[in-house]
Amino acid sequence: MTVLEGPSIPATTPSEVAGFIARDHGLLIAGQWRPSSGGRTVVSVNPATGQPLATLAAGERADVDDAVAAARAALADPGWRDISPLQRGELLHALADLVEAHADELALIESLDNGKPVSVARAVDVGTTAKLFRYFAGWPSKFEGSTIPISPRGGLRVLNYTVHEPIGVVGAIVPWNFPMSMAAWKLAPALAMGNAVVLKPAEQTSLSTLRLAELIGQAGFPSGVVNVVTGLGSVVGAAIAGHGGVDKVAFTGSTAVGRLVTAAALGNMKKVSLELGGKSPHIVLPDADPAAVARAACDGIFFNQGQTCTAGSRLYVHADIYDEVMSALIDEARRIVVGPGHDPATQMGPLVSASQLDTVGSYIESGLADGAELACGGSRPAGLGAEYADGYFLEPTVLTETTHAMRVVREEIFGPVLVAMRWTDVDDLIDKANDSPYGLSAGLWTNDLTKAHRIAAAIKAGTVWINCYNLTDPASPFGGYKQSGWGREMGRAVLDQYTETKSVWVNLT
């Protein structure tokens, strides 16, 4: 262990983590770490202290050009182009092994950089990353083409078959809420299918992705197969989205930025997949267990500080059990321990940045001005140490007496703010649940499976959880309806996003 000066890193931080964070972090291009071509840097901040944590290279358009050139060279290199499907799978398995071997280190890096509890980073972020690489390690030798029985004109005998080929250079742009696991959402299928990647992590939370990139090299992936360009989204992200040498862009983030990515991609008509925002309804029928619902609803909105695209931010409770559910839920919310992510007792950490805290605070003020009532939270938690005076902390917040005319009900807040409403008529409930530009996910609680399946069928969302919430798995496709995105992440479905299908016709006459 090492003892460090300054407020950004706890004194108990292990030396390997402290040493990694203290570096001047460069860009990974063609297997080499180097500074930005313009020499500029960007500072990562510890959300728990509001103080500088690490210095990152701020990439320029020229650096994206170099990264794309390195990726195209890797695609043409026999060391990547010609390896067998089983060998690609072996590389992904080796990477999963390394992620698991460095799990505690990666989780602490993620916690310090993002703010989330280290227990969540260990179980969810690191655990999901390893599972993703393991799951997709099995696909390279199993993603088969097909032979197609056709009926050609003139009585010709023709063999028609399909093959799946790598799409080429993938530009992957990932968000700050799950930095490493979201990077793996894109890296795992892209690499399994034989592509090369230019990866842009969020400027607020690049550290875990940079450490993952080091492990990718240790696993044996050839130079240039994965390139990482850190920096501002308006510079690096925009350059990737508009680059003529990028064949596909995979983006996770806000719907507003997703529109910009789509517009930029039109230049060379590159393929685009988008995983965007959400304002997910969490529905409670009158036969549900209030205590179980209260626990699940708290987890659904306060997990990861509410900074989750699937957050169950709109709670609809049947009027018959509304008071009982809300009483139990508010008690649960008040018991949540808010503190720095590295503290084992912490259940909810700070928000990621000062601007995000300001945004969430403005939504709370808007809701109260519109007539909502503050049932709990809404302020900075008491009892935090002086070293966290500038941290971006907010109590779990519940607003009641809300209506669909309010911004807090209609817009994605991306913070620990729950809006609660009563309902009595199921048809009106479904209309209100679907009355949103988003359609990412929904939750439903009932012991009546007939009603559960009927309501699930009526909800316009890519994922519906029944008597559970926020479950994902690498084998199950994930994505949204409407303005929540295009395409699917994970599962068999995502492989089509990272391949081109070629139809081959052979005249046998």
pLDDT of residue 7: 47
> How far apart are the C-alpha atoms of 39 and 57, rounded to whole Å?
8
The full set of domain ranges for the chain reads 15-276+486-502, 281-474
> How far apart are the C-alpha atoms of 120 and 108, rounded to whole Å?
10
Which single residue is written with the structure tokens 């997703």? 258
**What's the longest Cα–Cα distance across the chain?**
84
Q: What is the DSSP letter of 336?
A: P
Q: Is 60 exceeded by the pLDDT of residue 296?
A: yes
Q: Which of 107, 141, 109 is nearest to 127 (CA)?
A: 107
Instruction: Name the pLDDT band for 3 (thresholds 50, 70, 90).
Output: very low
Tell me whether residue 474 is exposed, middle or buried, using C-beta atoms within 10 angstroms of its C-beta: 0 to 12, 13 to 18, 19 or more: buried
> How far apart are the C-alpha atoms of 351 and 114, rounded to whole Å?
8
Q: Please write the tens of the pLDDT for every residue from 404-445.
A: 999 999 999 999 999 999 999 999 999 999 999 999 999 999
Q: Which of 346, 68, 356, 104 is nearest to 205 (CA)?
A: 356
Which single residue is written with the structure tokens 């620990």? 416
Beta-strand ranges (E) seen in 224-339 are 226-228, 248-252, 271-275, 281-284, 314-318
Q: Please write the tens of the pLDDT for every residue from 36-69.
A: 999 999 999 999 999 999 999 999 999 999 999 9
Instruction: Name the pLDDT band for 1 (thresholds 50, 70, 90).
Output: very low
Q: CATH code for 15-276+486-502?
A: 3.40.605.10
Which of 110, 203, 309, 412 is flagged as catalytic?
309
Helix (H), strand (E) at residue 227: strand 226-228
Whole-number average pLDDT of the chain: 96
CA angle 175, 136, 76 (to 5 degrees): 85
- Which structure tokens are listed for 174? 């990932």
Phi-psi region of 155 (alpha: psi -120 to 50; beta: other; left: phi over 0): left
**Is 298 one of the catalytic residues?**
no
Helix residue spans in 203-289 (DSSP H): 207-219, 238-242, 255-265
Segment 287-315 shows an average pLDDT of 97
Cα–Cα distances (Å) from 504 to 127, 142, 148, 161, 316, in that order, read 40, 19, 10, 5, 52
For residue 184, the Cα-to-chain-centroid distance in whole angstroms is: 9
Q: Is 50 exceeded by the pLDDT of residue 385?
A: yes
Show Cβ contacts of residue 20 under 8 Å, excluding neighbours closer than 6 positions: 105, 109, 207, 211
Q: Look up the pTM and report it.
A: 0.95
Segment 122-137 shows an average pLDDT of 98
> How far apart are the C-alpha atoms of 69 and 74, rounded to whole Å?
9
Instruction: Name the pLDDT band for 2 (thresholds 50, 70, 90).
Output: very low
For residue 289, the Cα-to-chain-centroid distance in whole angstroms is: 30
Task: Give the phi and the psi of residue 85 in degrees, each rounded to 5.
Answer: -55, -40
Domain 281-474: what homologous superfamily?
A: Aldehyde Dehydrogenase; Chain A, domain 2 (3.40.309.10)
pLDDT of residue 4: 37
- Which structure tokens are listed for 377? 């939270």
pLDDT of residue 155: 84
Cα atoms in the Cβ-side hemisphere of radius 13 Å centred on 138: 8
Task: Give the phi and the psi of residue 159 in degrees, each rounded to 5.
Answer: -95, 125
Contact 452, 289 (CB under 8 A): no
> How far apart are the C-alpha atoms of 40 and 62, rounded to whole Å?
13
pLDDT of residue 328: 98
> How far apart are the C-alpha atoms of 279 and 298, rounded to whole Å?
15
Cα atoms in the Cβ-side hemisphere of radius 13 Å centred on 260: 13
Task: Give the phi and the psi of residue 345 in degrees, each rounded to 5.
Answer: -80, -15
**Is 275 one of the catalytic residues?**
yes
Segment 147-165 shows an average pLDDT of 94
pLDDT of residue 6: 43
Contact 9, 46 (CB under 8 A): yes
Contact 282, 314 (CB under 8 A): yes
> How far apart are the C-alpha atoms of 433 and 423, rounded to whole Å?
11
> How far apart are the C-alpha atoms of 226 and 31, rounded to whole Å?
8
DSSP readout, 105-147?
A: HHHHHHHHHH---HHHIIIIIIHHHHHHHHHHHTSTTT----B
Helices and strands (H and E) in the chain: how many? 17, 22
pLDDT of residue 154: 85
pLDDT of residue 8: 80
Task: Give the phi and the psi of residue 66 in degrees, each rounded to 5.
Answer: -65, -40
Which of 203, 275, 332, 395 is flagged as catalytic?
275
Segment 158-182 shows an average pLDDT of 97
DSSP readout, 345-397?
A: T-SB---S-HHHHHHHHHHHHHHHHTT-EEEE--SPPS---GGGTTS-----E
Helix (H), strand (E) at residue 86: helix 85-101
Segment 195-200 shows an average pLDDT of 98
Q: Please write the tens of the pLDDT for every residue from 237-276.
A: 999 999 999 999 999 999 999 999 999 999 999 999 999 9
> How far apart are the C-alpha atoms of 310 and 414, rounded to whole Å?
10
> How far apart are the C-alpha atoms of 255 and 483, rounded to whole Å?
7
- Which structure tokens are listed for 302? 């306060």
pLDDT of residue 492: 96
Segment 3-27 shows an average pLDDT of 82
Q: What is the DSSP letter of 497?
A: G
